[in-house]
Chain A
Amino acid sequence: MMYDAVIIGGGPAGMSAATILGDKVKTLIIDENDRLGGQLVKQTHKFFGDHEHYASMRGFEIADKLLKEIQKKPVLISLSSTVIGIYPQNTVAYVKDGQIQKVQYKKLLLATGAMERQLPFVNSDLPGVYGAGAIQTLMNQYGIFPGKRFLIVGSGNIGLILAYQLAQSGVEVKMILEALDKVGGYEVHANKVKRLGIPILTGHTIVRAIGDEKVEGAVIARVDKNNIVKGTEREVVVDTICVAVGLTPLIELAEQSGAKVSYIPELGGYVPLRDERMRTTNKDVFVAGDLSSIEEATTAMMEGKIAAMQMVEDLTGENLEDKIYDDLNSLAIFRSGPKSAKIRTGLEKMGINVPKIDLPKPQRFERYDDSKLHAVIECTEEIPCNSCEYACKFDAIKVGININSVPSFDPAKCTGCALCVTSCPGLAIFMKRSEDKAATLGIPYEFLPLPKMDDKMWGLDREGNYVCDVKVKRVVKNPNKTNIVYVELPSEFADMVRHVKYPSKESPYVCRCEEVTLDEIEKVIDLGVTDFEELKRLTRVTMGPCNGKNCKMVVLGILSKKTGIPISSLSHGTSRPPTKPIEFRAFLKEGEE
């Protein structure tokens, strides 16, 4: 069968291309999975970017939207189809239902994506050392807990996003390691994770995994200029180690198609050489997405569209130049910020010039009027996103023509509607009103359980440390699942608290018989109880079957420490029989029932 256009890979790049090719030429899209969407289907976070390029939508929602668009067009979709090679005469061979199929193309778009890089350390082949994408697949696609305690290696956007997603599913992330001296990913992604109390250890790496049949822990150490610093090794107890150290483009099919590849580390390693419009050194073969350079899904979608439009021009002669220029321009602007410096260098090596555009500094406004509710924007890094500007209906937020600019915020125009809080993909906008004593803080919240009115919670700072108790005043549920929790707190803490959580229930059991925790004992003492006998009656400590042998001294120690009264001056209660648990039957006279 001959097709005008064959697309291999149904991720963001391939799908975007299919939406354009679909109703212009005879198109086939081949994917190995049982649905289109690629890695978008397991992305639960909101995407950065601008409104035209799906900013503020979550990855799996973008996949759904693209799929609906494709389904409206006469595109042939071949799922569960594994391409095994590109052969002479423009032939693609793939296996479907156990049978080899062959198709021919006039134009080919390769959107095969990338795969996760390995990090060789001792025992890195042990079950439980997983790529970041594998963990997302288990957790977000199949709804299966990938483990209980995690160590993440790598603090790029993938590692940071994964840490946040793991926390959302309710498991524990012990720490994120970063070998370099600074966090690799976006600052707002790092902040989302840090305020949950997940530490990011820069200048650290993994030395080995511990375990025989599966991961039971890891040895980590400080690293200095790629060398492990002797004597700094320590063990952490985790059951899953996640490797998030980057991606490698999957170039095999590109090479087989006759496209030249070249080693350009800034773009991810070996990549197919291509022009600005994604055409490789073989005029009939195009590439897009992570195969062409490891970047964002947003750029993959733009590249897919550009490649597809050029393919349509080749095939039909239709003039799409205006639209191509528009998309090339959007892509150039997207890549003009400081975070894309590496990509620009890599593209330059290929002969593609992407200008760096100097961005205007955000406008500073006078002191905020804190007596009315207003937004607080904590987005200080130049990243390609303007969803807050789009969300604000009152012109209070300006990003401007270049979406990499840091937003300027005019508090005088802010009405307190909080639409920006809900839409911000970086969860970097908060609401605040502060008066003499009490302040109200609105915090974006994407966890379960959703807090309830009047509940007491803990206010945490930007590193996840406890600051003060807060009280839930209002919970705004949003259809996009970024809910806003409004809490009341003392005004001196309003600029410190950035996350809330229910008080941790973890407290050691002091009295094993009656199951009383340290926390419960301390609370009763804090209420003013200083007498041991009273403490017994209120908490039942020392009153179980062991008769206080286990915990009496510990309880007296706690009481002494909290009240400052030496143990010798405290009453230690009365020792009553029976001293050991015995059967009631023992008290009966012989023959009695």
Chain B
Amino acid sequence: MEGRILEHPILNFQRKARVKIFFEGREIEAYEGESVAAALHAAGIRVLRYTPIDGRPAGFFCAVGKCSACLMEIDGIPNVRSCMTKVRDGMQIRRQNKNGDLL
């Protein structure tokens, strides 16, 4: 199950404005204030990159900016922590292959 929690016994989720972000060119539902990793997870995307040496699929582990497992290419810049980067309108996100391409 992916998607967003609408009703919760303790918390009251109030979503901010909808923003347009793109994953591999495809538009993904996202709301202001969400991290890139969170918005992608809500859309069912768990593989965030392929590792540099063995090319294994990887996702986040800690989701709070410590483990560096969630590095992605965001707006052309590789090795960005997707869990600490908030979504922005028009953002282009790509799965990072290996170490990413700086050019």
Interface residues of A (CB under 8 A from B): 32-34, 39, 44, 58, 60, 82, 115-116, 118, 125-131, 133-134, 137-140, 142-148, 168-171, 212-214, 250, 446-448, 481
B52 within 8 A of A: no
B65 within 8 A of A: yes
Q: Please give the distance in Å from B18's CB to the nearest CB on chain A.
A: 14
Residues B64 and A134 in contact, CB atoms below 8 Å apart: yes
7 A-B pairs with CB atoms under 8 Å apart are A34-B33, A128-B59, A134-B64, A137-B64, A138-B38, A144-B5, A146-B41
Q: With A126-B57, A214-B59 given, is the CB distance from A250 to B66 under 8 Å?
A: yes
Give bound CA distance, A168 to B46, whole Å. 23
B7 within 8 A of A: yes
Query: Chain B 63-81 against A: per-residue CB contact (8 Å), 1 yes, 0 no?
Result: 1111101000000000000
Q: Please give the distance in Å from A364's CB to the nearest CB on chain B.
A: 35
Contacts of A142 in B (CB 8 A): 34-35, 38, 42
Contacts of B15 in A (CB 8 A): 143
Given contacts A39-B64, A137-B63, 19 further A-B contacts (CB under 8 A): A127-B57, A128-B46, A128-B59, A131-B63, A137-B64, A138-B41, A139-B5, A143-B8, A143-B13, A143-B15, A144-B3, A144-B42, A145-B4, A146-B41, A147-B1, A168-B10, A213-B47, A214-B47, A447-B9
Give bound CA distance, A60 to B65, whole Å. 20
Q: Please give the distance in Å from B72's CB to the nearest CB on chain A.
A: 13
Q: With A32-B84, A126-B57 given, is the CB distance from A133 to B63 under 8 Å?
A: yes
A144, closest chain B residue (CB)? B42
Q: Select one of B8, B58, B84, B86 contacting A127, CB under 8 A.
A: B58
Q: Please give the distance in Å from B13's CB to the nearest CB on chain A.
A: 4
Q: With A32-B84, A142-B34, A145-B2 given, is the CB distance from A168 to B66 under 8 Å?
A: no
B22 within 8 A of A: no
Q: Please give the distance in Å from B14's CB to the nearest CB on chain A.
A: 9
Q: Select one of B5, B8, B41, B64 contacting A133, CB under 8 A.
A: B64
Give bound CA distance, A33 to B81, whole Å. 13
Query: Chain B 15-59 against A: per-residue CB contact (8 Å), 1 yes, 0 no?
Result: 100000000000000000111001001100011100100001111
Residues B47 and A169 in contact, CB atoms below 8 Å apart: no
Q: With A127-B57, A139-B5, A214-B47 given, is the CB distance from A44 to B63 under 8 Å?
A: no
Contacts of B42 in A (CB 8 A): 142, 144-145
Residues B63 and A138 in contact, CB atoms below 8 Å apart: yes
Residues A169 and B8 in contact, CB atoms below 8 Å apart: yes
Contacts of B67 in A (CB 8 A): 115-116, 131
Interface residues of B (CB under 8 A from A): 1-5, 7-11, 13, 15, 33-35, 38, 41-42, 46-48, 51, 56-67, 69, 83-84, 86
Most buried by A among B1, B56, B83: B1
A448, closest chain B residue (CB)? B9
Residues B62 and A214 in contact, CB atoms below 8 Å apart: no
A211, closest chain B residue (CB)? B57
Most buried by A among B8, B15, B47, B69: B8
Residues B61 and A130 in contact, CB atoms below 8 Å apart: yes
Q: With A34-B86, A128-B46 given, is the CB distance from A144 to B64 under 8 Å?
A: no
A139, closest chain B residue (CB)? B5
B15, closest chain A residue (CB)? A143
Q: With A34-B86, A213-B47, A250-B66 given, is the CB distance from A143 to B5 under 8 Å?
A: yes
A44, closest chain B residue (CB)? B10
Q: Which 4 A-B pairs have the closest CB atoms?
A: A127-B59, A134-B63, A143-B13, A148-B1
Give bound CA distance, A213 to B51, whole Å. 12
Give bound CA distance, A131 to B84, whole Å. 16
Q: Please give the distance in Å from A525's CB to the nearest CB on chain B.
A: 35
Residues B62 and A116 in contact, CB atoms below 8 Å apart: yes
Give bound CA distance, A133 to B65, whole Å. 11
Contacts of A33 in B (CB 8 A): 64-65
Residues A213 and B10 in contact, CB atoms below 8 Å apart: no
Give bound CA distance, A218 to B51, whole Å. 22
Most buried by A among B7, B33, B64: B64
